[in-house]
Structure 1
Amino acid sequence: MTERTVISALAALEEGPVKVQGWVDTVRDQKKVQFIVLHDETGACQLVNPRTEDREHISEVISPLAKGTMLTIEGDLKHDERVKLGGLEVKISSITVESAALPETPIADDSAIDVRLDWRFLDLRTERNNLMFRVQTTFVNAMRQYWIENDYIEIFTPKLMASASETKAELFEVGYFDRKAYLAQSPQFFKQMAQSAGFGRIFEIGPVFRADPSFTSRHATEFTGVDAEVSWINSHEDVMQMQEELLRTALTAVKEKHGDDIERVFGVEIKVPGPIPRVPLLEARKIVESRGHKFERQDLDMDPEGEREIGRWALEEHDSEFVFLTDYPASIRPFYHMRHDYDASLTKSYDLIWNGVEISTGAQREHRIDVLEQQVVEKGMDADELGFYLDFFRYGAPPHGGFGMGLARMMMLMLHQPNLREVTYLFRGPNRLQP
């Protein structure tokens, strides 16, 4: 039995018998010849059937084929530079319809995103979307390899929790036998537990749930989080340095494997970052204001337009798509962020901005139990509800820090896509639970 050859491998073969399998993209049913453009998961090729009397049984199968019909084709491969689609063609000797598609396709290339998401399995058949998830695979694998090669331990934290990990405002509540549980909005507490457990360096790539009713282009109610935590750091600068090396490694891998295809399909050049500039938040706000932006919010945070403006500044002044904003006020940071010795109103924390959008928050964590308990009280939180978490620090905890990133947001910015919906395999938002 002839083994299947994926379409991307045809170009390297000599002319002769081949077997290809995939789905129909187009059929040109002409009087003397028929052409099929066949796609598989690696690319597309042209199939040809001369309409002669001895081949009428093949012609009758081809004529009614609808877009999306799954085929097995055996035939003869021929290299012909005149063929626009890859310079090769397969002359059909046998054709098997494995699964026929309905004649009317429910979506088109120009369908609205919500319509395409209703039919996501069809939407994903395009070269563009296929490439997107190949890029994501390379990106994630490169990050994982970086951590493994640097002696990190991979952990998988629970997604059912007895209490909030950060704020009750964004929790999904679920029934758990005779009590309530919550879907994890962050692996934060369990990442820190690993530091007290003596793991040293850890990472996790896993689901995160946020009961956030936002309908923006960069929010989702379920997404894949990319998190890391490291022990024995001197400051948040050590965390930033690790994250910078991680992104440099991952983007290098993407550029080397997919750079040409990304530029051809998306019109985007993958830029591997050099040294990423660090700018204290209050200084960044002044830079943004000097460029004409007026902040409406009074909480000293950076609003979305401010992020876009500081991103433009970093690109113009430092030729960098990335910029670290550091030293956030304690008033807008979680209770577990360590504060500066020289100014307790500022934290040893940062946000990472990529192409004008925040992709990550990182910090050195407070590991001293007496200081941590004081900061819990200052934030108006209930120390009793945090008892299990505070226990992590009552039996010795090393100085440590880490960060969290959203994978879909990174993919969106890497490929210059307009929203998370495009780059998420199956998007979940306030009004979407299917498919």
Structure 2
Amino acid sequence: MPRTLVRDLSEHLGERVTVHGWIDTLRLQRRMQFVVLRDHTGRVQAAHARAGADDPIEAAFERITVESAVRITGRVVANETVRLGGLELLPERVEILSAAEPGLPIDAHTGPDRRLDWRFLDLRRPDRRLVLDVQTTAEQAMRRVTAAEGFTELHTPKLMGTASESGAEVFTVDYFGRPAYLAQSPQFYKQMAIAAGIDRVFEIGPVFRAEPSYTSRHATEFTGVDAELAWIDGVEDVMAFEERLLRAVLADVRAEHGATIEELLGVEVTVPERPFPRITMADALARLRARGWDPAGTRVDLDPEGERALSALIAAETGHEFVFVTRFPAGIRPFYHLRPDDDPTVTESFDLLWKGVEITTGAQREHRHDRLLAQLREKGMDAAPLASYLDCFRYGMPPHGGLGLGLSRLLMLLLDLPSIRDATFLFRGPHRLAP
């Protein structure tokens, strides 16, 4: 008999169906046996009246264990007293496909590190697995928006002959007897695609950072969402694109999962209004210092405390959870960020903060070869390892800009999760390479 998903059982009242799933809970009473089966769409109660030792269903339910994989065939009936959708299953056949060992290694109260050790069991919980369903919807929305706006999706190399960007915090691997590096970013390849005449490029792919960071928002491998747009009039075009992208993502997540997110996590998904607030870094620093942050006045960037304080300030003033911080100092931005003619001490770059956490870095890029080379040398960098990248600017590079977004951070904030570890299928950090 074909499989019926739990979410579809209400369409089969009075019918005989077969469901597959795991044993969620057992209540084996003297006269009745109540077994809750769970699949990826929901839970259903199977109720069976004991009929004696020769009853195969009674015997199966007696020897079954929680989290065993089973197949149950039975009739769907209405029962208003059952809280799981007001219906239950009267079993006619029970097959134990794979018995779980008694005594599970984790439960609802297990700490985060041990839950990561047993991540496959942890993800069987609906509230844990929800993040992957939301991630799927978010990525589908991103692809829908970028396709509609004429983007070409790329898959750039993750093994590089030279270290990307600054060359710091990269993983080195042996590549047939010579060093290679895991890509920190597809940045240079995105720009190469722009030089190739691909008007707009987009990628969702792995990113590697050899950072010994142990915070709730850092990982050594994560999924990056990258976009690059050619023929822009300025960095405002990039920020406006991200507004459209994120608004579509949150609208789709709200429509598809909003009720479930609120039920399981107590979080309401809000679709932001456009435009998002904008504030220059200089203005942000001045306003925060006036409120007691960085009393020595030595910082040129925001630390996590400053990001939280700025987001709270903007939210209080505008009611908006997002804020673009713009015009970062040239000294703390990569050499390829464009510097405006009116103030070459800053860059046409931005960070996007959401709920006090940076989720995006973006910029208009310097597209003129001579200026790019001068800025590289100003940073004290050697141009030779970047020759293939720099060649892209020698034969007509259009004005362009783009962004990089951390997918797991986006999910963490969207679902109000305590850590990026909970927003990742299998987390990788300085001390975690398994499972």
Q: TM-score range by the shorter chain?
A: over 0.9
1:260-279 equivalence runs, <5 A = 260-274=259-273, 275-279=275-279
Given that 1:48 and 1:92 are in contact with CA atoms closer than 8 Å, whether structure 2 keeps it comes out as yes
CA distance in structure 2 between the aligned counterparts of 1:287 and 1:65, rounded to whole angstroms: 63
Matched AA of 2:49: P
Q: CA deviation at 1:295?
A: 5.7
Match for residue 367 of structure 1? 367
Could you list the per-position Cα deviations for residues 161-188 of structure 1 after superposition, in whole angstroms to 9, with x for gaps in the alignment? 0011112221100000021100000000
Q: CA deviation at 1:14?
A: 2.6
Given that 2:166 and 2:334 are in contact with CA atoms closer than 8 Å, whether structure 1 keeps it comes out as no
Given that 2:330 and 2:339 are in contact with CA atoms closer than 8 Å, whether structure 1 keeps it comes out as yes
1:236-315 equivalence runs, <5 A = 236-274=235-273, 275-294=275-294, 298-315=298-315
Query: Secondary structure at 1:63's aligned position in 2?
Result: helix
Give yes or no for the alignment of 1:221 onto 2:203.
Answer: no
Could you list the per-position Cα deviations for residues 309-351 of structure 1 after superposition, in whole angstroms to 9, with x for gaps in the alignment? 1111121111111000000000000000000110100100000
CA distance in structure 2 between the aligned counterparts of 1:281 and 1:15, rounded to whole angstroms: 65
Match for residue 167 of structure 1? 166
CA distance in structure 2 between the aligned counterparts of 1:325 and 1:128, rounded to whole angstroms: 33
CA distance in structure 1 between the aligned counterparts of 2:283 and 2:84, rounded to whole angstroms: 53
Matched AA of 2:382: D
TM-score normalized by the length of structure 1? 0.98
Match for residue 414 of structure 2? 414
CA distance in structure 2 between the aligned counterparts of 1:297 and 1:131, rounded to whole angstroms: 43
Could you list the per-position Cα deviations for residues 68-117 of structure 1 after superposition, in whole angstroms to 9, with x for gaps in the alignment? 10000000100111111111100010000000000010001111100000
CA distance in structure 1 between the aligned counterparts of 2:303 and 2:426, rounded to whole angstroms: 28
CA distance in structure 2 between the aligned counterparts of 1:195 and 1:94, rounded to whole angstroms: 61
Give yes or no for the alignment of 1:145 onto 2:149.
Answer: no
Match for residue 98 of structure 1? 97
Could you list the per-position Cα deviations for residues 181-217 of structure 1 after superposition, in whole angstroms to 9, with x for gaps in the alignment? 0000000000000110000101000000000010011
Q: CA deviation at 1:58?
A: 1.2
CA distance in structure 2 between the aligned counterparts of 1:71 and 1:43, rounded to whole angstroms: 15
Query: Secondary structure at 2:225's aligned position in 1?
Result: strand
CA distance in structure 1 between the aligned counterparts of 2:295 and 2:256, rounded to whole angstroms: 41
Given that 2:289 and 2:297 are in contact with CA atoms closer than 8 Å, whether structure 1 keeps it comes out as no
Q: CA deviation at 1:54?
A: 8.4
Given that 1:295 and 1:303 are in contact with CA atoms closer than 8 Å, whether structure 2 keeps it comes out as no
Given that 1:299 and 1:332 are in contact with CA atoms closer than 8 Å, whether structure 2 keeps it comes out as no
Match for residue 207 of structure 1? 206
TM-score normalized by the length of structure 2? 0.98
Could you list the per-position Cα deviations for residues 271-316 of structure 1 after superposition, in whole angstroms to 9, with x for gaps in the alignment? 1111200100110112222333226683400110010011111211
Query: Secondary structure at 1:328's aligned position in 2?
Result: coil
1:331-346 equivalence runs, <5 A = 331-346=331-346
Could you list the per-position Cα deviations for residues 223-278 of structure 1 after superposition, in whole angstroms to 9, with x for gaps in the alignment? 00000000001111100000000000111000111111111111111111112001
Matched AA of 1:227: D
Matched AA of 2:327: D
CA distance in structure 1 between the aligned counterparts of 2:428 and 2:253, rounded to whole angstroms: 26
CA distance in structure 1 between the aligned counterparts of 2:376 and 2:252, rounded to whole angstroms: 42
Q: When the two structures are aligned, how many residues end up with a matched partner? A: 434
Q: For the aligned residues, what is the CA RMSD?
A: 1.1
Query: Secondary structure at 2:77's aligned position in 1?
Result: strand
Given that 1:3 and 1:19 are in contact with CA atoms closer than 8 Å, whether structure 2 keeps it comes out as yes
1:320-331 equivalence runs, <5 A = 320-331=320-331
Compare 371-380 and 13-22 and name the one that shifted more.
13-22
Match for residue 118 of structure 1? 117
Given that 1:27 and 1:37 are in contact with CA atoms closer than 8 Å, whether structure 2 keeps it comes out as yes
Could you list the per-position Cα deviations for residues 385-412 of structure 1 after superposition, in whole angstroms to 9, with x for gaps in the alignment? 1111100101110000000011001000
Given that 2:335 and 2:372 are in contact with CA atoms closer than 8 Å, whether structure 1 keeps it comes out as yes
